[in-house]
Structure 1
Amino acid sequence: MAIFLKANWENIIMVNYEIDPEILRPFLPKGVTIDLFDGKAYISLVGFMFKKTKIFNIPIPRFGTFEEINLRFYVKREEGYFVKRGVVFINETIPYPLVAWVANWLYKEHYTVVPTKHFFSKFESTQQLQFEWLLNKKWNSIFVETETKSKDMEPNSFEEFIYQHYYGYTKVNENATEEYRLQHPRWKVFPVTNHAINCDFSTMYGNDFSVLNHTQPKAVFVADGSAVKIEWKRNRLKFGYERN
């Protein structure tokens, strides 16, 4: 299988909010359903580092390392007895227009471009990580403090549910969905000891998500990350008549 994109994803913060599934339904691609954990729907504000990015194994000079901030929710698609667990992105934010343009043009993704920055500090027993992005002349941010020793995710845990989704689904239109697959090993997580979230959800993601401005996260996780591969092949799922 040809690999479209290779990159290292590092220090993957997931800020997880319980959300009314009715808010998500307008963004739900055809052919998938909302994936629930203990009967509840979740959406995640995510920050992580993209490093050593390659497209078709060719390094991207100057643009290969950057911060990404995204908002995503969780879905599944059943094929017989096999369940494909995946994610749908409301928006993905990066600092480079060229990278965003390529992703949007090739795959009809929802990338936007704003200035971003981050810092990382590691001490003997703790580490601190912060991602920031500039919106309407105001810096938004995700800050976490964790222990320095990582641990395995517990089977059937909330952490496992959040991180172990290996498919992506894109709503092309009302009658077509694109499906793609990610490859990466099972990640380890760092116990979080402190966090602070400063995000204007309504301005960043639209009024549908303004409720998150007043919602406390259910949990905040940090994974170590790894090399990640995204396959070139995308399955076009068609339902009914698809207009060009």
Structure 2
Amino acid sequence: MTGPTARRGPRSRTFLTAEWRRLVMLSYDIDPDVLRPLVPRGVVLDTWDGRTLVSMVGFEFLDTRLLGVPVPFHRDFDEINLRFYVRRDTAEGPRRGVVFVKEIVPRPALAAVARIAYGERYVSRPMRHRIDLSDDGVTPAGLVGYAWYDGGTWHRLHATTTGEARPPAAGSQEEFVTEHY
């Protein structure tokens, strides 16, 4: 899966661009009372089929550029984040978004810039990944996994692939978690 990201600064100049590749996304039901203290003002928890979900997402952040310029030694890196889903109801319909509980990257400078520039909950931890896919990214029984070191232990997030890649089905949980921006 590929997802370009662009965040604009005060003069509408693109501050950050990158591609997200080889995503692993695991979603779990959670008691909404656990998340309510983290919900920003102006939005509400968004639910799918009456369920409140939290997701853990690992991916490769590739071809990263600040103000169009690649930053040496910080262009390609792994990220893992923990997120939940919110919405704001407008006259045009619901606007869906995510709230990040924590974001993990391998380099302290990346975490510092994200905290300062965006006020995000980034931390730096040693990380590694294992990706066993074909060049086109579609491999039945392939593996995509990310790991981070914290508290004296390696933790990991991984998934194996089965079948052919396809877009999420309309109305599915998969569509719900991928259609929040």
Scaled to the shorter chain, the TM-score interval is 0.7 to 0.9
Cα offset for 1:125? 3.3
Tell me, yes or no, if the aligned pair for 1:127 and 1:148 is still in contact at 8 Å.
no
Secondary structure in 2 aligned to 1:151? Answer: coil
2:115 partner letter: N
Higher relative contact order (CA 8 A, sep 6+): 1
- Structure 1 residue runs of 4 or more that deviate by more than 4 Å after TM superposition: none
- Please identify which structure carries the higher strand content: 1
**Residue 220 (structure 1) aligns with:** none
**Residue 156 (structure 1) aligns with:** 171
Tell me, yes or no, if the aligned pair for 1:35 and 1:76 is still in contact at 8 Å.
yes
Using the size of structure 1 for normalisation, the TM-score is 0.65
Per-residue Cα deviation, 1:2-31 (whole angstroms, up to 9, x for no partner):
322111101111110100101001111000
- Tell me how far apart the structure 1 counterparts of residues 133 and 78 of structure 2 sit (CA, whole Å): 19
Using the size of structure 2 for normalisation, the TM-score is 0.87
Tell me, yes or no, if the aligned pair for 1:131 and 1:142 is still in contact at 8 Å.
yes
Cα offset for 1:61? 1.0
Point out where structure 2 has 5 or more consecutive residues left out of the alignment. Answer: 1-11
Per-residue Cα deviation, 1:184-233 (whole angstroms, up to 9, x for no partner):
xxxxxxxxxxxxxxxxxxxxxxxxxxxxxxxxxxxxxxxxxxxxxxxxxx
**Residue 80 (structure 1) aligns with:** 91
Q: Does the C-alpha gap of structure 1 residues 72 and 46 become closer, same or farther in structure 2, counting only changes over 3 Å?
A: same
**Residue 60 (structure 1) aligns with:** 71
In the TM superposition, what are the counterparts of 1:45-194 in structure 2 within 5 Å?
Answer: 45-122=56-133, 125-147=140-162, 149-166=164-181
Per-residue Cα deviation, 1:171-190 (whole angstroms, up to 9, x for no partner):
xxxxxxxxxxxxxxxxxxxx
- Please give the root-mean-square deviation of Cα atoms over the aligned residues, in Å: 1.4
Secondary structure in 2 aligned to 1:152? Answer: coil
**Residue 222 (structure 1) aligns with:** none
- Tell me how far apart the structure 2 counterparts of residues 116 and 137 of structure 1 sit (CA, whole Å): 13
Tell me, yes or no, if the aligned pair for 1:100 and 1:112 is still in contact at 8 Å.
yes
Task: Indicate which of 28, 35, 49 corresponds to 1:17.
Answer: 28
Tell me, yes or no, if the aligned pair for 2:24 and 2:145 is still in contact at 8 Å.
no
- Tell me how far apart the structure 2 counterparts of residues 37 and 125 of structure 1 sit (CA, whole Å): 28
- Tell me how far apart the structure 2 counterparts of residues 154 and 33 of structure 1 sit (CA, whole Å): 25
